[in-house]
Structure 1
Amino acid sequence: MAEVLTPPLSSGDEKGDEKACKSSLENSQNDSLESIERIREVDPDIEKRVVRKCDWWVVPAPTVMFMLSFIDRVNIANARIEGMLTDLHMVKHDYNIALFIVFIPFMLCETPSNMVLKRITPRVWLSFLLFGCGLMAICQGVTKSFSGLVVCRFILGIFEAGISPGSILLITMYYRREELPRRICWWYMSGTIAGAFGGLLAYALANMSGVRGYGGWRWIFIIEGCVTVGMSIIMYWWLADWPADCRFLTPDEHKVLMWRLMDDNEGEAKMDRVNWSRCARDWKVWVATAMYFGIVALNYSTNNFNPTLLKELGYTSAAAQIHSIPLYVVASAFCLGSCYLSAYVNNRFWPLQFGVLLGSVGFIVLLAQRSPAIGPGVTYMALFFITSAGYIVQPMVVSWVMNNASGHYKRAFTSGTMIGLGNAGGLVSSNVFFQEEAPYYPTGYGTSLALLILTSVAAVVFYFGLKSENAKRDAGKRDDRLRLPDADNLGDDHPSFHFSF
């Protein structure tokens, strides 16, 4: 077995170097490491073991957490066709209001939540947020009025706001950039599992209608909320903390982990102190937000309306719940395949554009439903296209953007802003499917198609912008930043950081 070499410091004898290295590692907070040179050699068996342990300890808990919070957010679509509208006396656009109200706190709270996450350990903060999600899901099941439903969903949005960006931030802190897309894919696949499992569970729980005087739609909220509350308690022990404080690695493995992250350019391109001005002036954050905005609109269109669209194809409520399951099974296959392909070719741009093309074809078919040639079978096929497209493009966007954000605070700001403001796409999608336009929904499908094209255009801008920035850094045109007062806190603005595609 090869010996793990201690990377040399700039000066001092061997013992002094080892002592200084050990002190630096012990005192590091998150990714704020002292200036240590890149590792020269590491035992490959230990490195593989570190990655394997991260895969078992870091990714699964946020994945399960996102799946549960996702179900609590979108199970209103299943409840809608099981009698919720009638029992709560909801008319006209009341359902749209219940959908979009959750996105207002999303937009306001996601970036602040990520900043809180820096101060409070992930297992404390994220498990607390998940507990709140489950509690609000239960409250939705026992509310007696439409106004009560709206209040519950607004508070639900406050708790859910921090789960997605916090989970992504936690995962990105443990992996090299080339390793990240596959892990983000695994995390996002929980959304497809939630869609499939949510439909199956809703089908089963709807049969509880009349138990204790509650309608089946109420039990969908109550049972799923109870599961979330129970899992939030488990999350306190299951979730990992930041890399500097991880509990599942041996001391030698922990050193290898920290050196791997340093070797991935994080050592120089760090941001250990929040710099709001630098973060807010970064064009990449806002282009990324535009990409995310467009694809989120598509995903929420499918998640919030697929059961309704299937019912309007002539299925009963129960059959619509069952027929929603294959949509997400196929989407899972596309999600996994595209992420592994992108990792193999080391490119996110082209798989993203393929997803846009697939979704565009689906929306064009749905917009042409009035044609005699477009029967229920073709319409159902189009739903497969648009559902799969969402789960191809969204992981590509997130992994691509987070690959090109460096430094704890820069990653926290980027993920919080991209997901927080980008979730305004859900606000749009909640308000463009009008009941009076059923079953064709030209406004909803047309708007979703336009926003999907926006994602494609923003991706082109992002791609060529990164290429231009890399060329400038290679030519030394960004070296002047090394003379700035905050040269040690530039994040991915550091001249040594090169962007990936």
Structure 2
Amino acid sequence: MLAVEEKQPVETGEQVAPKSHQESSSDFSDGPIDPKAESRLVTKLDFIIFPTFFVIYMMSFLDRINISNARIQGMVADLDLTGNRFNVALFTYYISYILLEVPSNMVIKRFRPSLYLSTLMFCWGIINMCMGFVHSYSALIGLRFLLGIFEAGVLPGIIYVTSMYYKRHEYQKRMSFFFCSTVVAGAFGGLLAYAIAKLGGHHGFAAWRWIFIIEGAITSTLAIIAAFLIIDWPEQTKYLNAEEKELLRRRLAADVDDSCRMDVLNKTSFKMIMSDYKIWLGALVYMGVGVPGLSGTFFLPTILLEFNWKAQEAQVRTIPVYVVAGGTMLIGAWASDKLRHRFSFFVAGTSLVTIGYGMLLAQEGKSRDYKFGAVFLVFGGAYMVTPMALAWLQNNLSGHWKRAFGSSIQVTIGNIAGIIGSNIYLVNEAPTYVTGYSVSLAMMWLGMICATILAVLMWRDNKKRDAGERDDRLNLPEDVKNNLGDAYPTFRFTL
């Protein structure tokens, strides 16, 4: 079931990407694209691709954060999670997760995504179930580390696969719809934890253990089904016939010049990837804006518990927060795709987050409703721009290898936000959590500053390309010129 590389010129030290829709020879007309046929194809892809990936990432996120629901259902006392032990359990996951994201995107190129991603999903579901049976802190740490190993390849893999099917300005709203899976996971996690809590004591298992056991079992079962539903690479997929594959190739070539390819990995292309400012700034943007969302997700039940609600009441009140976050995410995605513009939405998101944290840092003597309202602002602003950071970078990368490295590097560095977010809400600072709120606000502004630099540099580069100042690259040797990716002079960046 392996998707073996069609060309591997090892004698030259080069690696060639699997033959893609952009490379396929055409037996069809290169005339105008029928808009009705194109619309039918895009609708078909939407129904095939995103419902499955939505469920996969929803379960990935749920299995990552359900420890926060388990925390307020008795896990702390049972496993003696005193001091900063809970924080350590959170960030241990991110050690393996971060280390394996880039290697995973190199591996997925050699496999069918349907086989690779479903296998990862089945394994992490089993590991999540096992956490319901632990009796020691050390066992919990070990399983969190293993969970990170098997979840590492999910997000960069999904971003990579989906980016091969859509035009650049179709991608944001779809990516935001996909990221609503995290919102559903957060809301559903609170609702499910509320329901599962009633199982506490059944068969001798505490409520927090049932959270892991039931959610892990659901994940592993869905993984078996997903193996038959996940879409593979465009040249492999069973869902499209030859005519549809050719239409896909042509519509993507019309969006990005077919010359803007990077299908061969060699020393020259690797150097271009590693020196691309967009990848590194895009990664810092994702890391910065990710801290408010991730840290909030980890500690939202605990924060609401500090607002003097009981445990089950706090679980339920996470739901409207995630509903509002999903709303801002979808509205921002629709508007940014409509305007073909991203940067201004980072300004709007940062403004909402700044107001929210400002309110929380000045919460002394304020009512519970005041503090609860501030939480809505933080989540609304942070969740609006988190998926946008991913889509914005993918909009501005071209070529098989550029996208493979770009998405995995961005997610790898971006997920340092998980390590930061899991260590800033300190038990001894409850209920005000000054460090947590202050660091989250600072990281949001780091993301905003990097987004500003990124937008300015791309704007300047577009101006130079419009003036013909990059046309000297057309005189490069053919093998180099045909492997430039988004460095090809005809490519234009989305601001």
Place the TM-score, normalised by the shorter chain, in its bin: over 0.9
Cross-structure match for 2:490: 496
Residue deviations 1:194-213 (CA, integer Å, cap 9, x gap): 11101000000111111111
1:311 alignment partner AA: L
Cross-structure match for 2:192: 201
Which of 438, 454, 457 in structure 2 is aligned with 1:446?
438
C-alpha displacement of 1:112? 0.9
> Does the 8 Å CA contact 1:209/1:215 hold for their aligned counterparts?
yes
1:142 alignment partner AA: F
Q: Distance in 2 between matches of 1:367 and 1:406?
A: 42
Residue 82 (structure 1) aligned with residue 76 (structure 2) = no
Segments of 5+ residues of structure 2 without an aligned counterpart are 1-16
C-alpha displacement of 1:400? 0.9
Query: SS state of the match for residue 158, structure 1?
Result: helix
Which of 42, 54, 60 in structure 2 is aligned with 1:69?
60
Cross-structure match for 2:378: 386
Q: Distance in 1 between matches of 2:225 and 2:483?
A: 36
Percentage of identical aligned residues: 40
Residue 437 (structure 1) aligned with residue 392 (structure 2) = no
Q: Distance in 2 between matches of 1:77 and 1:436?
A: 18
Residue deviations 1:336-384 (CA, integer Å, cap 9, x gap): 11111111211111112101110111111111112x2x21111001111
C-alpha displacement of 1:243? 1.2
Q: Distance in 2 between matches of 1:490 and 1:106?
A: 30
Residue 415 (structure 1) aligned with residue 384 (structure 2) = no
Q: Distance in 2 between matches of 1:124 and 1:225?
A: 19
Q: Distance in 2 between matches of 1:489 and 1:403?
A: 18
C-alpha displacement of 1:38? 10
Distance 1:424 1:38, change over 3 A: farther
Cross-structure match for 1:270: 261
Which of 305, 313, 333 in structure 2 is aligned with 1:311?
305
Q: Distance in 2 between matches of 1:444 and 1:31?
A: 46
2:68 alignment partner AA: A
> Does the 8 Å CA contact 1:180/1:399 hold for their aligned counterparts?
yes
> Does the 8 Å CA contact 1:31/1:266 hold for their aligned counterparts?
no
Cross-structure match for 2:141: 150
Query: SS state of the match for residue 482, structure 2?
Result: helix
1:251 alignment partner AA: A
Cross-structure match for 1:30: 20
Query: SS state of the match for residue 142, structure 2?
Result: helix
Residue 324 (structure 1) aligned with residue 293 (structure 2) = no
Which residues of 2 match residues 342-421 of structure 1 at below 5 A?
342-370=336-364, 372=365, 374-421=366-413
Cross-structure match for 2:93: 102
Distance 1:35 1:250, change over 3 A: closer
Stretch moving more, 478-487 or 308-317: 478-487
> Does the 8 Å CA contact 1:31/1:270 hold for their aligned counterparts?
no
Residue deviations 1:225-246 (CA, integer Å, cap 9, x gap): 0010011111111000011222
Cross-structure match for 2:281: 287
C-alpha displacement of 1:250? 2.7
C-alpha displacement of 1:335? 0.9
Cross-structure match for 1:428: 420
Q: Distance in 1 between matches of 2:29 and 2:124?
A: 42
Which of 130, 134, 143 in structure 1 is aligned with 2:125?
134
Residue deviations 1:71-114 (CA, integer Å, cap 9, x gap): 00000000000000111111100000001111111221111111
2:428 alignment partner AA: E
Query: SS state of the match for residue 396, structure 1?
Result: helix
2:158 alignment partner AA: S
C-alpha displacement of 1:39? 3.9
Q: Distance in 1 between matches of 2:461 and 2:286?
A: 21
Q: Distance in 2 between matches of 1:84 and 1:28?
A: 47
> Does the 8 Å CA contact 2:21/2:235 hold for their aligned counterparts?
yes
> Does the 8 Å CA contact 2:321/2:379 hold for their aligned counterparts?
yes
Distance 1:359 1:39, change over 3 A: farther
Cross-structure match for 2:43: 52
Residue deviations 1:171-217 (CA, integer Å, cap 9, x gap): 11100011001110110011101111010000001111111111000
Q: Distance in 1 between matches of 2:492 and 2:81?
A: 53
2:305 alignment partner AA: K
Query: SS state of the match for residue 207, structure 1?
Result: helix
Distance 1:399 1:140, change over 3 A: same
1:437 alignment partner AA: E
Number of matched pairs: 473
Q: Distance in 1 between matches of 2:425 and 2:135?
A: 25
Query: SS state of the match for residue 228, structure 2?
Result: helix
> Does the 8 Å CA contact 1:38/1:259 hold for their aligned counterparts?
no
Q: Distance in 1 between matches of 2:406 and 2:367?
A: 43
C-alpha displacement of 1:224? 0.4
Stretch moving more, 239-248 or 62-71: 239-248
1:111 alignment partner AA: V
C-alpha displacement of 1:31? 4.5
Residue deviations 1:139-177 (CA, integer Å, cap 9, x gap): 111111111111101110111111011111111110001
1:385 alignment partner AA: L
Residue 234 (structure 1) aligned with residue 228 (structure 2) = no
Q: Distance in 1 between matches of 2:492 and 2:25?
A: 19
> Does the 8 Å CA contact 2:21/2:246 hold for their aligned counterparts?
no
1:341 alignment partner AA: A
Q: Distance in 1 between matches of 2:271 and 2:225?
A: 38
2:449 alignment partner AA: V
TM-score, length basis structure 1: 0.92
> Does the 8 Å CA contact 2:92/2:145 hold for their aligned counterparts?
yes
Residue 251 (structure 1) aligned with residue 237 (structure 2) = no
Cross-structure match for 2:6: none
Q: Distance in 2 between matches of 1:82 and 1:146?
A: 16
C-alpha displacement of 1:254? 1.9
Query: In angstroms, what is the RMSD of aligned CA positions?
Result: 1.6
Q: Distance in 2 between matches of 1:135 and 1:477?
A: 55
Segments of 5+ residues of structure 1 without an aligned counterpart are 1-26
Query: SS state of the match for residue 264, structure 2?
Result: coil
Q: Distance in 1 between matches of 2:349 and 2:464?
A: 31
> Does the 8 Å CA contact 1:123/1:237 hold for their aligned counterparts?
yes
Q: Distance in 1 between matches of 2:147 and 2:436?
A: 25
> Does the 8 Å CA contact 1:294/1:452 hold for their aligned counterparts?
yes
Cross-structure match for 1:20: none
> Does the 8 Å CA contact 2:128/2:147 hold for their aligned counterparts?
yes
